[in-house]
Copies of this chain bind each other. A is one copy, B any other.
Amino acid sequence: MEQLDKMHCEACRIGAPTLTDEEIRALRTEVPDWAIVESDGIRKLQRVFPLENFAEALAFTDRVGRMAEVEGHHPTLLTEWGKTTVTWWSMKIKGLHRNDFIAAAKTDALYQAFDDAK
């Protein structure tokens, strides 16, 4: 399979099917550090990224946000002292789409690059 972090999000329309449990199991092996959380009956991908302090968390939030703008797919980003929590899901289908796994893989790559640059 092509690496997820090299792929791009595609347009997601209302009514597109959410992923099956089997598809989710297969995709999760590509982004093993992400948890699947459920809120309001919607499954989401979530990962907490540890960072040195508030300034670093803010910088990482900004980096992920800019990637999201490029992809046209948007997460929630919780910035706190020493960590940023990133949550991906597809609002239009109220669940997980392949886009969310692509975006999660891209977030992992950004974190790796962020860490390598220190």
Contacts and interface: CB of A to CB of B under 8 A. Distances in A.
Interface of A: 54-55, 58, 61-62, 65-66, 68-69, 74, 76-81, 91
Contact of A79 (B55, B65, B91): B65
Contact of A54 (B58, B61, B62, B68): B68
Nearest to A57: B65
A80 B64 CA distance: 12
A92 to B, nearest CB: 12
B81 A61 contact: no
A81 B66 CA distance: 13
Contacts of A74: 54, 80-81
Which 4 residue pairs across A and B have the least CB separation, nearest first?
A58-B65, A77-B79, A54-B74, A74-B81
